[in-house]
Structure 1
Amino acid sequence: MGTKRDVKAGDSMEQVQVLSGVIAIGLLLLFGVSYFRERRQLRNGVWLNGFFIAGGIWLLTSAWGSGNPWLLVPVLLVDGLLVLALLLGIYGVIIFLLYNAHQVWRREAHSLTNLLGLLLAIGLSGLVVWQALIFGDVLPPPLMLLFSFVPVLVGYAFLNFWNYLTISLVYQLHRPRYRQQAIVVLGAGLLNGTEISGLLASRIKRGVTFYQKQIEKGRPAPLLVFSGGQGPDEKLPEALAMQRYAVEQLQVPEKDTAVELQSTNTRQNMAFSARLIQQRFGPRYRAIFVSNGYHIFRAGLLARQVGFNAQGIGAHTAGYFLPNAFLREFAAIMVLHKRLHLRVAAVVVSLAIIQCLLALA
Structure 2
Amino acid sequence: MLSLALGVVFAVLYAIYRDKDPRLLRNGVFLTAAVAFGVLGVLLIAAPHSIVAALLLGLIGLAVPVSILVFGIGLIRNGFTMMKKEGRSLGNRLSLLLGIAVLALPLISIVLVMTLQLAGLLVATLIAFVSAYASMAFISFAVYSVVYGRMRHRIDPVAIVVHGSGLAGGRVTPLLRGRLDRGIQAHHAEFSRGNRVPMVPSGGQGSDESRSEGEAMAEYLREQGVPAELILPETRSTTTAENIRMSTELLAKRGAPGPILLVTSDYHVLRTASLARRMGIEAQVVGSRTARYYVPSAFIREFIALIVENRWVSVVALLPFCALLVTLAISVLTLG
TM over 0.5: yes
1:225 is matched with which residue? 200
Q: Quote the Cα distance in structure 2 between the aligned partners of 1:349 and 1:20.
A: 25
Aligned equivalent of 2:311:
338
- Alignment counterpart, residue 234 of structure 2, candidates 260, 274, 289: 260
1:188 is matched by which residue type in structure 2? S
Q: Is the 8 A contact 2:28 2:141 kept in 1?
A: yes
Q: Deviations along 1:230-257, whole A, 9 cap, x unmatched?
A: 222222221111111211x312221110
Distance 1:298 1:148, change over 3 A: same
Partner of 2:180: 204
SS, match of residue 260 in structure 1: coil
Aligned partners of 2:326, 2:181: CA distance in 1, in Å? 54
Instruction: Answer yes or no: is the 8 Å Cα contact 2:112–2:123 preserved in 1.
Output: no
* Alignment of structure 1 residues 82-93 onto 2, 5 Å: 82-93=60-71
| In 1, Cα distance between equivalents of 2:171 and 2:42 | 53
Q: Distance in 1 between matches of 2:244 and 2:25?
A: 19
Q: Residue 52 of structure 2: which of 51, 54, 74 is its match?
A: 74
Q: Is the 8 A contact 1:296 1:313 kept in 2?
A: yes
Please name the residue that 2:296 is paired with. 323
How much does 1:330 deviate?
0.5
Corresponding position of 2:161 = 184
Cα gap change, 1:224/1:320 in structure 2, threshold over 3 Å: closer, same or farther? same
**Structure 1 equivalent of residue 28 of structure 2:** 45
Identify if the C-alpha distance between structure 1 residues 345 and 47 changes in structure 2 by more than 3 Å, giving closer, same or farther.
closer
SS at match of 1:175: coil
Letter in 2 for 1:142: A
Report how far residue 356 of structure 1 moved.
Answer: 9.2
Match of 2:266 among 286, 293, 297: 293
Corresponding position: 1:167 with 2:144: yes
- Equivalent positions of 1:1-361 (< 5 A) are 17=1, 19-64=2-47, 67=49, 72-134=50-112, 137-146=114-123, 148-176=125-153, 180-192=157-169, 194-215=170-191, 217=192, 219-247=194-222, 249-283=223-257, 285-342=258-315, 355=329
Q: Report how far residue 223 of structure 1 moved.
A: 0.4
1:304-357 C-alpha deviation (Å, 9 max, x unpaired): 111221111111210111011110110011011112324556776687689399
Identity of aligned residues (%): 30
Task: Mark the runs of 5 or more structure 2 residues left unpaired by the alignment.
Answer: none
- Distance between the aligned counterparts of 1:140 and 1:114, measured in 2? 38
Letter in 1 for 2:214: A
Distance 1:342 1:179 in 2: 37
- Name the count of aligned residue pairs: 334
| Coordinate RMSD, CA, aligned | 2.7
Quote the Cα distance in structure 2 between the aligned partners of 1:242 and 1:256. 13
Using a 3 Å threshold, how does the CA distance of structure 1 residues 59 and 123 change in structure 2: closer, same or farther? same
Instruction: Identify if the C-alpha distance between structure 1 residues 101 and 356 changes in structure 2 by more than 3 Å, giving closer, same or farther.
Output: farther
Contact 1:143 1:356 in 2 (8 A): no
Structure 2 distance, partners of 1:314, 1:85, is: 31
Q: Say if 1:128 and 1:258 are closer, same or farther in 2 by CA, change over 3 A.
A: same
Residue type at the aligned position of 1:263: S
Partners of 1:230 and 1:236 within 8 A in 2: yes
The separation in 1 between residues aligned to 2:6 and 2:325, in whole angstroms, is 33
In 1, Cα distance between the equivalents of 2:250 and 2:11? 38
Q: Which structure 1 segments of 5+ residues have no match?
A: 1-16
Residues 169 and 79 of structure 1, relative CA distance in 2, 3 Å threshold: farther
SS of the equivalent of 2:168 reads coil
Check the 8 A contact 1:35/1:44 in 2, yes or no: yes
Residues 109 and 120, structure 2, Cα contact 8 Å, conserved in 1: no
Please give the per-residue CA displacement for 1:131-179, whole angstroms capped at 9, x wherever unaligned: 33246x2444334434542222112211211221121121122134795
